[in-house]
Chain A
Amino acid sequence: MLQRSWCASHPDRPGHAACVVCRTVLCQECATAYDGIFYCARCLAERRRGARRRMAPVGWTLMVAATVGLFFASMRLAVWSGALLAGLR
């Protein structure tokens, strides 16, 4: 059926696949297989943005918690290291 359709972006090229999200017909150049499923460039970008949006709160939480923890650890280490260096004199 796709062979009889034409690419949405290149009307002179025969259809190779259809985007699984928006059902747009795509030629070989426009179709991108991700996890074995064909996507158009716009839907693939949208999918990646969505994944990033979902990951952002987790990433922020981890990064802030690690930064605060490391600052406290560095304070304790500074005291420990200072006492050690002073004892070595």
Chain B
Amino acid sequence: MKPHRTFGLMDVLDEGVEAVAAVASPFLGVLWLTAVPLRLAQVHFLFQVVQLGSEAARHGRYLGELALLQAVLLLPWAFGRAVFVRACRLGLQGQHPGWAALRVGAVPFAGFLYTTALIEALTWATAWTVVSLPVVVLMGALAASTHAFIARPGLLEPLRQLFRHGRQALLLVGLLAVMVWALLVAVVNLHVLFQAGVWLAGAVPGTDPGRWRALVGASNPRYWLLVLAGAVLAVEPYLLAATTVYVHKVRSRSSGEDLRLWFARLRRSVAA
């Protein structure tokens, strides 16, 4: 038993999975309930962009209305994220995350909305590069995990909290790689699940699987966007929990909380 053990990627992932399992009921439901409308709006927006093709530039007003819908749906989504992260954090501190998880402070939440808006603008500004997307997704998760430490309103304080906890770049890059891999696995699993469902439906008398095959076929871009949205919903809680564990560990080391817990464990083992 070492007193000041450094933590690695596997520690963060293991504890992240445990944290998700501990708060799944009901906070995973809160997260999904607030995230599903936004994901569906994003799918619809991207599908319309795909359908319009080179004509998209002429339908700026229509696309602008869809973008406004996404901006409105970002508010409940951000609240769901804040609640889920708070529940995970309370669980890590050894407390029971009951109604207390819903009490997100006004200043931290306003700071979180500000960083969310900034990251959202950054996402769309760099979306055409594609490679920037994982980085902004990680920044979004870190912003959610650090929002509770925003003590006063201002433009710099939320960003200071975000970058203060992003120093272990190697670990965060590793976390990002694992999550991208998990997303691919989730996409493949969901696709196989849909295909198996259509195949099984063919065995039921009176059902025509032909129409369903066209809907969940590989040639339908809406289907692929929905599968991707489903995979994002599946991976999102684990990413949020992992970044929350990471932030908790970074803060524990700097405040001496890890030493206090180590002494407590040591005392218990000596007493036993």
Contact = CB atoms under 8 A, between A and B. Distances in A.
B154 A63 contact: yes
B211 to A, nearest CB: 27
Contact of B63 (A55, A64, A79): A79
A82 B125 contact: no
Contacts of B215: none
A30 to B, nearest CB: 24
A78 interface: yes
B118 A78 contact: no
B70 A78 contact: yes
B49 interface: yes
Nearest to B126: A81
The bracket for how many chain B residues form the interface is 35 or more
A56 B117 CA distance: 21
A75 B67 contact: yes
A86 B221 CA distance: 13
Interface in B55-97: 55-57, 60, 63-64, 67-68, 70-71, 74
Interface string A46-89: 00000010011001101110110011111111111111111111
B33 interface: no
- Which one of A72, A74, A83 has the greatest number of beta carbons of chain B within 10 Å? A74
Contacts, number: 103
B57 A83 contact: yes
B169 interface: no
Interface string A2-39: 00000000000000000000000000000000000000
A64 B49 contact: no
Contacts of A74: 67, 71, 117, 120-121, 123-124
Given A59-B152, A70-B120, A83 B60 contact: yes
A interface SS class: helix
A82 B58 CA distance: 12
B117 A86 contact: no
A79 B46 CA distance: 10
Contacts of A76: 64, 67
A81 B124 contact: yes
A56 B54 CA distance: 48
Contact of A86 (B50, B67, B111, B155): B50
Interface of B: 45-46, 49-50, 52-57, 60, 63-64, 67-68, 70-71, 74, 110-111, 113-114, 117-118, 120-121, 123-125, 127-128, 152-155, 157-158
Interface of A: 52, 55-56, 59-60, 62-64, 66-67, 70-89
Lowest 9 A-B CB distances belong to which pairs?
A: A59-B153, A70-B117, A77-B124, A86-B56, A74-B121, A59-B154, A82-B49, A75-B67, A78-B67
27 contacts: A59-B155, A60-B110, A62-B154, A63-B110, A63-B114, A66-B114, A67-B110, A67-B117, A70-B118, A70-B120, A71-B117, A74-B117, A75-B67, A75-B68, A77-B125, A78-B70, A78-B124, A79-B64, A81-B124, A81-B125, A83-B56, A86-B53, A86-B56, A87-B56, A88-B128, A89-B50, A89-B53
